[in-house]
Structure 1
Amino acid sequence: MDVLASLVVGLSSGGLFALFGVLLTLVASLTRVINFSQVAVGVFGAYLSIHLTSTMTPLPQWASTLIAVIAGALLSAGLGWVISRWLGDSSTTARSAVTVAALLGLVSLSFIVFGTQPQQLRPLLIGPVFTIGAIAVTKVGVLLLVLAIVTAAVARAVLTWTPLGVRLRAVADRQTTAELQGINVRGLQVVVWAFVGAMSGLVVSVVGNSQAAGAQSMVTLLVPSAAAALVGGFRSVALTIVGGLVVGGVQGVLTAFPAITLLNDWVPIVVIVVFLLWNQRKEVWDAAR
């Protein structure tokens, strides 16, 4: 029963990894950027909302969350504009490197502005949906998984059946051709970045201090989320959700065994290494032949 309870707890974290992984996948597939700053934008936006509201008349939780969403959208849109404006024709590697610099900058700025102590970030939902013995399914875990599935489904519907989706796919597949057709490539890319930033701010507000206790979470949440996105090849949102649940589930099960619980942090790294090796198998086998 302890193992099953630990698995359920791990799947709650898996929903978080899946949701951030879906957002990573959307940015990668639509803008050709691996956005390493994505979690940092959400955490910084949420902390900024706390900092701003602490000097005002106490605001309700939804107002603080709204500020976090707006801050995340603006930060992410600004980064997207910089990349699309000056690195529009650069390689994916060069464009992604800018987000690494943004990640490090936001971590440093967070320490300067907010200090090194965890912020009082209240989760939007508290408590379990239901409890069976020692197994408790939390509201936060359910909401994160639902958000991941809904975000993936809405993104697929928009990209498949709407004129906006046609333009976004055109920008992703043939950027130069799209520009020649009169499509506002930069504007569409900034919209994608703004949406992802807003969702990141919302996600961090949902989980609160349970997962975003300090600036270090900007990195520690990124690695398993990237592992989830890699399971889907940064293309399939369905496989990304599965990858996030697998990573979270395995980490949860390991906590039931104190002797090996320290291996938790290695789970996403192992997943990343395995899938990188698997994706390179064709080149290796071709070279061997």
Structure 2
Amino acid sequence: MLQGALAGLAAGGVYAVVAVCLTLMAQLVKVINFSQAAIGMFGAFIAVTFADAHVPQWLAVMLGILCGVVLSGVIGWIIATWLPEASISARSAVTVASLLLLISMSYILFGTKPKTFRAVFPGPAFEVGGVVVSQVTVVMVVLAVAVAIAAKIVLSKTGVGMSLRAIADRPVAAELMGVPVKPFAIGVWLVTGLIVAVAIAIVAPTQTSDAASLSLLVIPASAAALLGGFRRLDLAVIGGLALGMIQGATAQFPELSLVRDWIPLVLIVVFLLWNQRKEVWDAAR
């Protein structure tokens, strides 16, 4: 069971990274970016295409990551340009359309078969109680924690962070004070696109490597972000890592392996019901 839980930390790390980015976007640009993982998937597939064309692996990976950043920036530009005052639901609907479009485009451009990714960090890192912990697991956990800490420091200690918080709280007032709202919003899309593209490039060799499976990593990541109510970065990291470990542990039991993918959906429903409990109780009084 320990082996499965530790093995699940690699997936938990990417859940945590995507959950942190979802939380940042919800707080700063008022959108739940359901296309977050699909952007990373598309970049990873671009990297595989370049690698198959005998481009050096490091360069192929960098080009794939760059593609993910550009895609994220384009989606962000579209929303910032045409939906600057739209509701979070309308903005999020655009990202659902982007998710479906990216999956469809990947099928057209790259085919429907799973891809073979070369490991960016191959081999084991160390052993715990006879259980081998891979380099990918270590890197993903460190990346998730580092991204959350860096985001917290930037938002609370820097001028850029204060401008971003001003835009999130009072966008009209911030614009009147001379804060470049649109460039800052697109910048958030670019940075989160970069982070997720890097995470997907690292973890893709350990996951089911078809377009839909990689894109739908956003579902467990959303469950992790819900743990912190799309507000707290620390709980998003904890939720992502814990969810990955739970899935890894349940995969060790054949009778539970079929339900491991349902766990994020169940958690999402539970969190939504819990968050709505006060309204239900007040209505019942």
- The interval holding the TM-score normalised by the smaller chain is over 0.9
CA shift, 1:49, in A, is 2.6
CA deviations 1:222-249 (Å, max 9, x no partner) are 1111111111111111000111122111
- The answer to whether the Cα contact below 8 Å between 2:207 and 2:214 also exists between their aligned partners in 1 is no
Tell me which residue corresponds to 1:152: 148
**Count of aligned pairs between the two proteins:** 285
Tell me which residue corresponds to 2:127: 131
Give the letter aligned to residue 144 of structure 1. Answer: M
Tell me which residue corresponds to 1:42: 40
Q: Assess, with a 3 A threshold, how the Cα gap between structure 1 residues 212 and 254 changes in structure 2: closer, same or farther.
A: closer
| Counterparts of 2:248 and 2:211, CA distance in 1 | 23
Q: Assess, with a 3 A threshold, how the Cα gap between structure 1 residues 168 and 212 changes in structure 2: closer, same or farther.
A: farther
Tell me which residue corresponds to 1:250: 246
CA deviations 1:105-140 (Å, max 9, x no partner) are 000000000011122321210121112465111110
CA shift, 1:256, in A, is 1.9
Q: Map of 1:72-151 to 2, 5 A cutoff? A: 72-132=68-128, 134-151=130-147
Moved over 6 A (4+): none
CA shift, 1:78, in A, is 0.5
| Counterparts of 2:192 and 2:208, CA distance in 1 | 18
Q: Map of 1:1-289 to 2, 5 A cutoff? A: 3-55=1-53, 58-132=54-128, 134-211=130-207, 213-289=209-285
| Counterparts of 1:69 and 1:212, CA distance in 2 | 19
- The answer to whether the Cα contact below 8 Å between 2:32 and 2:88 also exists between their aligned partners in 1 is yes
Give the letter aligned to residue 8 of structure 1. Answer: L
CA shift, 1:218, in A, is 3.6
The range that moved more, 125-134 or 62-71, is 125-134
Give the letter aligned to residue 61 of structure 1. Answer: Q
| TM-score with structure 2 setting the length | 0.96
Q: Assess, with a 3 A threshold, how the Cα gap between structure 1 residues 111 and 101 changes in structure 2: closer, same or farther.
A: same
The range that moved more, 195-204 or 80-89, is 195-204
SS of the counterpart of 1:129? Answer: strand
Aligned-residue Cα RMSD (Å) equals 1.3
Q: Which runs of 5+ in 2 are unaligned?
A: none
CA deviations 1:254-289 (Å, max 9, x no partner) are 112111211101110111011111111111111112
Q: Assess, with a 3 A threshold, how the Cα gap between structure 1 residues 156 and 132 changes in structure 2: closer, same or farther.
A: closer
- The answer to whether the Cα contact below 8 Å between 1:71 and 1:198 also exists between their aligned partners in 2 is no
CA shift, 1:53, in A, is 4.7
SS of the counterpart of 2:252? Answer: coil
CA shift, 1:203, in A, is 1.1
CA deviations 1:23-45 (Å, max 9, x no partner) are 11111111000000010000101
Give the letter aligned to residue 120 of structure 2. Answer: L
| TM-score with structure 1 setting the length | 0.95
CA deviations 1:133-183 (Å, max 9, x no partner) are 651111101111100111111111111111111110011111111111111
